[in-house]
Structure 1
Amino acid sequence: MSPWRRGKRGRKAPIESSDSSIESLPDGVLQHILGFLPARDAVRSCVLARRWLDLWMFATGLRITSNGYEDDMEKLREFVDHLLLLRGIAPLETCELRFTDYVMVDIFSAGCPLRVNLWFRHAVRCQARVLRLVMPSGNWFGLNYMHLVSRHLMQLELSGVAFEENFLILSDCPALEQLEIENCDLTDVNKISSESLKRLSLTNCAFSESFRTRIHAPSLVSLLLDDIWSKTPVLESMPSLVDASIRIGENNVDSCDNCDSGDCSSCHGIIHSNSNSILLEGLSKTTNLALMAESDTFIFRMDLKRCPTFSKLKTLLLSDYWCVALDLDAITCILKNSPLLEKLTIEHFLKGSQLKMEMKGSYIPAQKTDAISEHLKIVVVKCDVVDNKVYRVLKLLSTFNIRKLTSNSIKFLRIPKVLAPRS
């Protein structure tokens, strides 16, 4: 047969040969492709041809989801059990166990928690480099895994999980670089510890009300703490930190009604540790920092009494409580202790409102002062309305020779709740 066929307008077009089809790809490439499919679809590939009969067993990714099994969790259990039995412990690059709210009732029924724990353990045995476990929202799933051990695990993502006390002491995971924990119960966790960890994200998580969890991650480059419930964890030294974003939400107990009077003896947020600082000392080596709080927060007041020097800080964002706290002493304190600061952003919004005005200014060194960084190039004030609080901020900035504030009216532009660290 001629390798050419008559195309449009009489031109000849090449006929695709079998050598250029998917069948010409090596087994390793096909197994990698199958790893991006849901497990059920990957298994179905076995009917394509004799060559495909066993390829799915060695797929580099395993993605188990409850889609298609919302009405029958028993079928999902049976499918996954047979799947894992047939594929054995063939190595995995990625394993994802994801369950939707539709199976919430069944997933917590008798036998299911044990099954899911076994599937998680199986993924660890298969030397998974990326491991995700996403459970339904509304209830925390008990991950009965006392101590995680893996020389291969590099990325761990967990959602909707309740941890054992020592699970997050990750000294036996020497390759782990990224840990993301969302909507999880850490009330029994005394310490999060990893020498290798570079990126840590804790979002919407509950900590203990009776003690403070300590975070030991000396190699950390990126940190996100967003909407932490109960007691804020203690940050130990992080000399390599580049990006950090901290937002203390309304569910945090580190507040004090007596701070204005100076009597904090009855605070339930009082520090019970050998550390004099909860957050700021651990953040003192970061380059880019965002600090947000929705209420008058006790731990920030305590930290500011011994405010560290932010020796590498170049970009700073202060929002909500920070804009008006301590008669603006918070802003003053940090500015005086940030000798390399180049950009300062201050945000003040009424709850649920949108950005309507943005004012930009610059530092004019009319006379040399040690009270503010000589490297400061730009100051941005974002707000929904220029009220008395914003006016006080602007007046404070003027005392540091920050002038030439120009305003721009901006409509329909939302400011994100959290300034997330760069990946």
Structure 2
Amino acid sequence: MKRVCESSADRITDLPADVIQRILVFLPIKDAAKTSILSRKWRHQWLSIPQLVFDNGFAQLKSDFEARSKLIMLSVYRTLLVHDGPITKFELSVLGLEFCDEIEHIVRYLSSKGVQDLKLSCSSPNPSTGGYKIHTSLFSALNLKSLNLNSCVFTPPTWFVGFSKLTNLKLVDAALPDGFFVDFLPKCPMLECLEVIECSGHSDKLEIAAPFLKSFNLEAYFMEICFKHAPLLSVVALHLSEADTPDMVPLFASLPALQEFHVNYDFLRVSLVHHILYPTVAYFA
């Protein structure tokens, strides 16, 4: 039995560093840290994993939200303090976590670490202000490929040149500047998936110009929707209130690649227009 255990330990120790990193990426961060006891070679491997996820599983939900939030932020800080190497993915999405100054510092830090996939989901301590304001350093993170933000004030600075690599953007309950779609989207030329959920602050007119956009999900109030240049857009989901009355005919006419259209109201009118224009496209309620 002793020889079997020693043999197994040797096989774990002898794994190449890139294989060890690959294993650690698939583990929750707490479990990844525990692998440091396996052998001397594994001791510091978890300190350089490129993907850091702090979610509800990491937080271990408790009733004392204030104490839990402080402990979570302390753990995140400690992890970043000892981390060595690039961070390609970072997620902080814990139920009940409120925005604090530490999160602003984290955004600054990640912007200098080449982050590619960023998700921040926390609530504002003062919802009347429209959420926490995203620090301008985020807009210098030019390696971003996926951005998911919740309950924030999303205002790009005047010097913002664009996210040339961004392919996925999701904004939930965010305060957007007037003319956001007209001004911001052209600066993200590679965007493929766009979700705008219950956001505020933009104008009633929605214009989408995104040459590589394939999927679009909207839950907001708009009186006019116009796809100026979206030749690859194949999936559109509109979740509108009964008071919204956008003209659907020009919308369909501007989407030559449309395959799926989802809408949450006025089923008969939308489906008839849809099938008259594109008989091969299926309608999903």
TM > 0.5 between the two? yes
Higher share of residues assigned helix: 2
Asked if the contact 1:188–1:208 (Cα under 8 Å) also holds between the matched residues in 2, the reply is yes
The answer to whether residue 186 in structure 2 is matched with residue 197 in structure 1 is: no
Q: What percent of counterpart residues are identical?
A: 19
Asked if the contact 2:260–2:281 (Cα under 8 Å) also holds between the matched residues in 1, the reply is no
- Specify the alignment match of 1:365 in structure 2: none
Alpha-carbon spacing, 1:91–1:254, altered in 2? closer, same or farther (3 Å): same
TM-score by length of 1: 0.53
Asked if the contact 1:291–1:322 (Cα under 8 Å) also holds between the matched residues in 2, the reply is no
Select the residue among 235, 260, 278 that pairs with 1:244. 235
Alpha-carbon separation, structure 1, partners of 2:281 and 2:253: 21
Which has the greater radius of gyration? 1
- Specify the alignment match of 2:104 in structure 1: 117
Alpha-carbon spacing, 1:125–1:33, altered in 2? closer, same or farther (3 Å): farther
Select the residue among 135, 143, 148 that pairs with 1:157. 148
Give 1:165 deviation, angstroms: 2.6
Give 1:95 deviation, angstroms: 1.4
- Specify the alignment match of 1:49 in structure 2: 39
- Specify the alignment match of 2:22 in structure 1: 32
- Specify the alignment match of 2:268 in structure 1: 323
Q: Which amino acid letter does the alignment assign opposite residue 198 of structure 1?
A: E
Would you say how many aligned residue pairs link Structure 1 and Structure 2? Answer: 269
Q: Which amino acid letter does the alignment assign opposite residue 73 of structure 2?
A: R
Alpha-carbon spacing, 1:184–1:334, altered in 2? closer, same or farther (3 Å): same
Asked if the contact 1:208–1:231 (Cα under 8 Å) also holds between the matched residues in 2, the reply is no
Alpha-carbon separation, structure 2, partners of 1:152 and 1:209: 26
Give CA-to-partner distance per residue, 1:385-410, whole Å, 9 cap, x none. Answer: xxxxxxxxxxxxxxxxxxxxxxxxxx
Give 1:155 deviation, angstroms: 1.9
Alpha-carbon separation, structure 1, partners of 2:115 and 2:282: 42
- Specify the alignment match of 2:174 in structure 1: 185
Alignment of 1:124-273 (within 5 A): 124-136=111-123, 141-146=131-136, 148-158=139-149, 160-166=150-156, 172-181=162-171, 183-188=172-177, 190-192=179-181, 193=185, 194-202=188-196, 204-208=197-201, 210-225=203-218, 227-229=219-221, 234-241=226-233, 243-250=234-241, 254-255=244-245
- Specify the alignment match of 2:257 in structure 1: 286
Give unpaired runs (5+ residues) of structure 2.
none
Alpha-carbon separation, structure 2, partners of 1:125 and 1:254: 42
Q: Which amino acid letter does the alignment assign opposite residue 88 of structure 2?
A: E
Select the residue among 68, 88, 91 that pairs with 1:93. 88
Q: Which amino acid letter does the alignment assign opposite residue 268 of structure 2?
A: C
Asked if the contact 1:93–1:130 (Cα under 8 Å) also holds between the matched residues in 2, the reply is yes
- Specify the alignment match of 1:263 in structure 2: none
Asked if the contact 2:204–2:223 (Cα under 8 Å) also holds between the matched residues in 1, the reply is yes
| SS state at 2:46 partner | helix
Asked if the contact 1:18–1:24 (Cα under 8 Å) also holds between the matched residues in 2, the reply is no
Alpha-carbon separation, structure 2, partners of 1:230 and 1:207: 11
* Root mean square deviation, CA, Å: 3.7
Give CA-to-partner distance per residue, 1:199-227, whole Å, 9 cap, x none. Answer: 2233x3223375435433111122222x3
